[in-house]
Amino acid sequence: MLKKISFMLVALVMYRIILVGQAQAQETVINPVNKEFPNQFFSENLPNRALSKYFPQSWTTYAFNPGRNATFTVSKTAPAALRDGVGWKFAGAGAIALESSPLNNSIITTAYGVGMPVGPSVVDGIAYVGSDNGYTYALNAVTGKLIWAHYGWNMNMSNPLVVHGRVYVSTGSAYFNYANTMLYVNGKRPTRGPGLNSLFALDARTGREIWSYHFPGEAMPTAAYEDGFLYIGTGDGHVYKINASDGKLVWKSDIVSFVSMSSPVLDKRYLFVGGTHPNFFYALDKESGKVAWKVTLPKLVATGMGDCTPAYADGIVVQEATVMTGIREKPVANVLLGLDVTNGNVIWKKRLGSGPVPPAMKTATPMIAFGKVFEGSPVTGDYYAFDLRNGRELWKTHLGAQIRAGAALADGNLYVPYKSGDIAGIQASDGKLLNNKHIGGAFGPSSPVIVGGTLYVSNIYGWLMAMPISKILGTNKMAYVAPTNR
């Protein structure tokens, strides 16, 4: 009798397994979403191991390091293609022609629809980039061929992090729904970013999803990775610390301010991030999540502190914000701050030129290298160099169009993408404009990456491009003079 009951139970379980399997198979076949947004993998396009070893082997923060200068030399034994530079262009889904007008004649519509606004990460022979069409792409960094594409159900404005064989990408939209718009207008606390706001862990070589963590508000900024943990600020007014191995929450800190595009930067003790409504720049203890200090400025414009990704070096964290001037013809100006990381005291403050209100992002990403701060102005189209210690202006170069991207510094020259669709080559020692290379489209906050002789950059028309840096400078390439630390 017992054997008969046992047999019947086993049969019942097997029958249910078969039914579940059939149901899952049927769902896979008839689910139109799976057909429309498949995660794709093309193993034949994976990089050659003999070449991939010459690339960076991890990427733990926005623009690779706290100073935000993503530049890597390759050895003299590297293949000539890597030393001289490779060239290719990849168009993401919905990308528009580089010489065409923006969608609906709107840069914002274009950027938020098909743009790759933030820039790539280049690791182990693979270039990873996020797109506002919802995809994260992985491309062979030498050939530009697609390896995999992962769909994340929301805009991807993050600089993919790559650590220990995993890619971490965050998603979220730049919008408020009606209810939260009314909260914002009435001075109450809103949550920014409707839709599915997520942090994904993906397999670096296949794009397979390993885990996901979902937030109440947008997760547009790039997270920061350190010692097995991820840190990110979001549109619901919190900063999160998440275990990178399994996606479990360690702590979340209520800073009230929503974080727009301010990707955190870390030092030994603190996490630094900008927030909006109320507008503050914060230092949080990495172990506890408690706010250690915060600073603000009077007359901040719109997203204020929350749009700029800070840079850090030598005990100084640098942040840009935008303030009202009270001048009708030139109502706003960018302000650059150098802050003491221990207490938030303002070491120096520089107000840049005044001008009209820029659309969308109103700040640029500062970059620190060799004791200097390099920064652009979305308001005036000027590019600057300052002394990191005291904020003294070293030089200024007028490019003429809005600058939101950071820069890459290689062999004594700066490479700066900006809105007109050009990449400027600037001599870092004195600000001399060496060349403007017209690429087409338009550049948002996309910081470029240089590996050997190749510059990688994405734009808000939906393109990721690789090009030899020699072609950007053209015939104006200057002899390299090694900079000093100060």
The pLDDT tens digits for 166-225 are: 999 999 999 999 999 999 889 899 999 999 999 999 999 999 999 999 999 999 999 999
SS3 content of the chain, % helix, strand, coil (to 5): 15, 35, 50
Which pLDDT belongs to residue 217? 97
Higher pLDDT pick, 9 / 253? 253
The Cβ of residue 450 has, within 10 Å, a number of other Cβ atoms equal to 22
Which pLDDT belongs to residue 36? 61
Round the average pLDDT of the chain to a whole number and report it. Answer: 90
Token pair for residue 320?
A: 């840009």
Which pLDDT belongs to residue 358? 85
Query: CA-CA distances (angstroms) from residue 40 to 151, 178, 206, 485?
Result: 9, 35, 8, 46
| pLDDT (tens digit per residue) in 277-330 | 999 999 999 999 999 999 999 999 877 899 999 999 999 999 999 999 999 999
| pLDDT (tens digit per residue) in 233-285 | 999 999 999 999 999 999 999 999 999 999 999 999 999 999 999 999 999 99
**Cα separation, 327 vs 186, whole angstroms:** 26
User: Which residue do the tokens 């005036």 mark?
Assistant: 380
pLDDT bucket at 13, cuts 50 / 70 / 90: very low
Which pLDDT belongs to residue 477? 53
User: Any bridge partners for residue 251, and if so which?
Assistant: 241
- The residue among 358, 335, 355 whose CA lies nearest residue 419 is 358
Query: CA-CA distances (angstroms) from residue 50 to 138, 173, 475, 484?
Result: 19, 39, 32, 34
Token pair for residue 203?
A: 């397999």
Query: CA-CA distances (angstroms) from residue 282 to 184, 189, 275, 319?
Result: 21, 18, 8, 11
- As a whole number of Å, the CA-based R_g of the chain is 23
Residue 332, helix vs strand vs coil: strand
- Which structural domains are found in the chain, ordered by start? 39-476 (2.130.10.10)
Range 22-45 average pLDDT: 58
Which pLDDT belongs to residue 409? 98
| pLDDT (tens digit per residue) in 118-168 | 999 999 999 999 999 999 999 999 999 999 999 999 999 999 999 999 999
- The residue among 255, 289, 252 whose CA lies nearest residue 269 is 289
Residue type, 167: V
pTM: 0.90
**Cα separation, 220 vs 197, whole angstroms:** 8
Which pLDDT belongs to residue 354? 95
User: Which residue do the tokens 């993919």 mark?
Assistant: 160
Which pLDDT belongs to residue 35? 60
pLDDT bucket at 2, cuts 50 / 70 / 90: very low
Range 84-94 average pLDDT: 96
Residue type, 359: P
